[in-house]
Amino acid sequence: MPRVRSVFLSDIHLGTRACQAESLLDFLREYSAEQTYLIGDIVDFWAMSRGIHWTPAQNTVVQKLLRRARHGERVVFIPGNHDEALREYCGIIFGDIEVVDELVHETADGRRFLLIHGDVFDQVMRHHRWVAVLGDKAYDLLVRINLWLSWGRRKLGMAGYWSLAGYAKRKVKTVLNFIFDFEESAVHHARERGLDGVICGHIHWAQMRDIDGLCYINCGDWVDSCTAIVEHFDGRLELVAWGMRHLVPVRVAPVGEERRSECVS
């Protein structure tokens, strides 16, 4: 029996050295589901144009997702900016995996969420693409440095996971302003369409929170933080911090009468 009703994943970045495919495989083994939504940047064609790093674990991730689709689980792929070349195939089914530009998902308790990668809400991506590409290279450098730092921390016997990229995001005010603007724009778009919220990715910043009565939910990534969103059979949405699962409690959006508090972590 499936453990959860739905799984939402984004920003896996297959084809890169930073992709944490082994951790993702552990997560997928733990969380069987009726439906899996891949919300963009699953394959990183940007990085692969500079050099491909494809491991056996990454290959197994692809095989596992295809196997889920073959065995009757609904698997939907929503391309992002790093795999935008696949957007021209929206509306087509490959290997039982649906490819769509966006989707409205209804939870078991009747709420309706827009599923979209989110680069459309990124003003830098829309109007200054060269800055976005430069920022992508800088982020990739931070993640590579973090791999060496993690190795050093383990050798020194230092427990716990520490993210250099996450630290930079928390400390750089302009980055925080960008994230807040992104979140507000995503929720505004969902409100205009009469929906209860949005589930997206793109900015590698896992989050579940209420913004003026609507739910803003970001899946995070499988490069730096290893996070995902799952929907339980009662419609409850949960942010699973897989990379931190032994260190911090997961954050849950509870069901109940107080709708406004559902997305507050």
Long-range contacts of 243-248 (CB under 8 A, 24+ apart): 243/20, 243/23, 243/161, 244/161, 247/160, 247/161
pLDDT of amino acid 125:
53
Q: Which helix (H) or strand (E) holds 74?
A: strand 74-77
Separation CA 69–CA 34 (nearest Å): 10
Say how many domains are in the chain.
1
pLDDT of amino acid 133:
55
pLDDT of amino acid 179:
80
| Residue-range definition of the domain harbouring residue 231 | 4-261
pLDDT of amino acid 50:
82
> Collapsing DSSP states into helix, strand and coil, what is residue 254?
coil
**Each residue's pLDDT expressed in tens, for the chain with a length of 265 residues:** 679 999 999 999 999 988 999 999 999 999 999 999 999 999 999 889 888 899 999 999 999 999 999 999 999 999 999 999 999 999 999 989 999 999 999 999 999 999 999 999 986 554 445 444 555 666 676 666 776 666 665 666 665 555 656 655 555 545 566 787 899 999 999 999 999 999 999 998 999 999 999 999 999 999 988 999 999 999 999 999 997 764 443 444 433 334 434 564 4
Among 257, 212, 258, 216, smallest CA distance to 239 is for 216
Please name the residue that has the structure tokens 């003003």. 123
List the CATH number of the domain containing 126: 3.60.21.10
